[in-house]
Amino acid sequence: MQFSSNLFISEGLEEKKDKIMKKMVKKRKIFPVYCITLPRNPHNLLEIIEYHQFLQKHYGIYEPYVVGIAGSKEEATTLVIKIIETVYNKTSGFDMKEYFS
C-alpha cells in the first residue's frame, strides 16, 4: 500500500493519521476506514474502497495508491469532492494521476 505525499484526511481522523497508516501498511484490521485511491479503471477519477477489502486475497496483487482516508462512506464522499475541487483549482483539469505523482 502506497500513500500520496499530498494525502487528504477527513476531519475526524487527522489526529490518528500516523497510527492508521502504520496499521494499514502492516495489514492490521481497523474499522471503519475508507480509502480513496487512484482508480484501476482509467475512466474513473478516483475510487472509494473500504479498507477491510484490501485484506482479502484477490487484492494481494493490487498495490493501491491511497490519496485520501476517511472514517465513513459519507466522509469519503465529501473528501472525494474536496480532492476533485482541489485538483481542478490547482491544475484546471482532472488528471488525478499526474497531480498525485
Q: What would the pLDDT profile of 44-101 be if each residue is shown by its tens digit?
A: 999 999 999 888 877 667 788 999 999 999 999 999 999 999 999 999 999 999 999 8
Domain boundaries, the chain: 2-100
Interatomic CA distance for residues 97 and 101, integer angstroms: 6
What pLDDT, on a 0 to 100 scale, did the predictor assign at position 78? 96
Who contacts 3 (Cβ-Cβ below 8 Å, separation ≥6)? 21, 65, 66
